[in-house]
Amino acid sequence: MPSLALLFCLADGGTGAVSLQQAQRAAAWCDYLESHARRIYSMILSPDRQAAAELGRRLQEGWRSAEGQFTVRQVYDNDWSRLDRPERVRAASEILDDAGWVRKAEAGKGVGRPSEIYLINPKLTRRAK
């Protein structure tokens, strides 16, 4: 904060002591930067986002690209890091759905519980080839 205050003072053409207004502006700027840093770090540390990154990496590498879709069960049956439970796979898939990487499909009505199917964005599979 003191370094920013000094820079603000110099930018304002000051040559003397740092004014209270410049110190307040530097403190406000630090608060602003801290809020952005917290948001970025929370994305990195969020287990759901880590799981989404892992699933996204697998999709980019071409996993299931020939089929163009996957089920929640197919993901957690692989026992990949951070994707070892249905809840984590669902959360990761929702994040990727919001990002446009996958889209949840309507499951067919058959015998038993319907499968949770996600369609892979064709643009993503073209990049993997």
Count of other CB atoms within 10 angstroms of residue 59: 23
Claim: this prediction has a pTM higher than 0.75: no
Query: How confident is the model over 23-77, as pLDDT tens digits?
Result: 999 999 999 999 888 888 877 778 898 899 999 999 999 999 889 999 999 999 9
State the fold for domain 47-128.
Arc Repressor Mutant, subunit A (1.10.10)
Extract the tokens encoding 121: 């964005």
Query: Quick check: 64 and 121 in contact, CB under 8 A?
Result: no
Domains of the chain by residue range: 2-45, 47-128
Question: Cα 112 vs. chain centroid, distance in angstroms?
Answer: 34
Measured between alpha carbons, how far is 81 from 103 in angstroms, rounded to an integer? Answer: 22
pLDDT at 44: 72
Task: Give 9's contacts (C-beta < 8 A, 6+ positions apart).
Answer: 17, 18, 19, 22
Q: Can you name the residues that pair with 117 across neighbouring β-strands?
A: 71, 105
Would you give the DSSP letter of residue 17?
S
Average per-residue pLDDT in the chain?
Answer: 88
Tens of pLDDT, residue by residue over 2-11, are: 999 999 999 9
Q: How far apart are CA 52 and CA 95, in angstroms?
A: 6
